[in-house]
Amino acid sequence: MYLTRFRFNTARADARRLLSSPQNLHAAVMSSFPELLPTAPGARVLWRTDHNASAEVQLYVVSPSRPDLTHLVEQAGWPAAAATGTAGWQTYAYTPFLERLDKGTCWNFRLTANPVHHARTKDGEPTKRTAHVTARHQMQWLFQRQEASGFRIAAKPEERRHTEHGDEYQLAVHGQRNLAFSKRGTSGRVTLTAVTFDGRLEVTDPDALRGVLTGGLGKAKAYGCGLMTLSPIG
């Protein structure tokens, strides 16, 4: 497995075009793997954009093979800088890190996800997939999946807790984006809500967590949701 990072040059029109369309960006990401068939078993490619500032947008990709992002550098990066010997992206072997995950260790995490549930608007009607739109329900969506996903979201120290506000965990949700776009090849439209979770977790089942880190969590993985990454505390 590989973890890749690419920074967009947001001053370029093609970069803004890609960032405005999850479908176009998905196609650009998948074009980085000439040998990979998206329908092959185990061929899941996860990606996520982190909007750290208006001029700092990072693309993260987790993939079973090493990508070639030359086309992204040419369209949405800094081609002249890349021509001097800098590839324009960084790819790291991910498997050694995944193998070192131990039960009981703690990490900071970031996850962009599509929190949904099934509900019906009228009695007797079939249920319909519906997005959670409040931070409280979006957090609850993640809490409901933590045990099966091999982690436990860490509680805040007692002196920093405000339980009357539901603020006892080291978890924040932000960056909600309501996306709507036409699905290529069909007359229908895709609508989804994406949010970003930042927090701290404890590993409870390393194998299950490795499955989440490489296979994603939740729906809409083709549109930039589902990728969780870890970083050391401190």
pLDDT at 123: 64
2-97 belongs to CATH 3.40.47.10? no
The 10s digit of each residue's pLDDT in 114-123 is: 998 766 566 6
Name residues whose C-beta falls within 8 Å of residue 101's C-beta, 6 or more positions apart in sequence: 203, 206, 209, 210
Question: 50, 44, 41, 47: which is closest to 64 by C-alpha?
Answer: 44
206-215 and 135-149 helices, crossing angle to 10°: 120
Q: What is the pLDDT of residue 100?
A: 95
C-alpha closest to that of 228 among 219, 214, 58: 214
Q: Is-contact 225 233, C-beta < 8 A?
A: no
Q: Assess whether pLDDT exceeds 90 at residue 217.
A: yes
Q: Could you tell me the two tokens for 224? A: 């930039």
Structural domain spans, the chain: 2-97, 102-231
**pTM metric for this prediction:** 0.88
pLDDT reported for residue 40:
52
Say what the pLDDT of residue 178 is: 85
Phi-psi region of 185 (alpha: psi -120 to 50; beta: other; left: phi over 0): left
Ranking 56-60, 144-148, 190-194, 219-223 by mean pLDDT, the lowest is 190-194
What would the pLDDT profile of 138-185 be if each residue is shown by its tens digit? Answer: 999 999 999 999 999 999 887 666 655 557 899 999 989 888 777 766
Q: Tell me which architecture the domain covering 102-231 has in CATH.
A: 2-Layer Sandwich (3.30)
Predicted confidence at residue 18, as pLDDT, reads 95
pLDDT in tens, 79-111: 987 666 666 899 999 999 999 999 999 999 999
Segment among 6-10, 33-37, 143-147, 210-214 with least mean pLDDT: 33-37
Per-residue pLDDT, 120: 56
Mean pLDDT of the 26-49 span: 79
Residue 181 confidence (pLDDT): 74
If you search the block for the tokens 């086309």, which residue do you land on? 71
At 207, is the secondary structure helix, strand, or coil? Answer: helix
- The reported pLDDT for the residue numbered 132 is 82
Q: Do domains 2-97 and 102-231 have the same CATH topology?
A: yes
* pLDDT at residue 117 in the model: 74
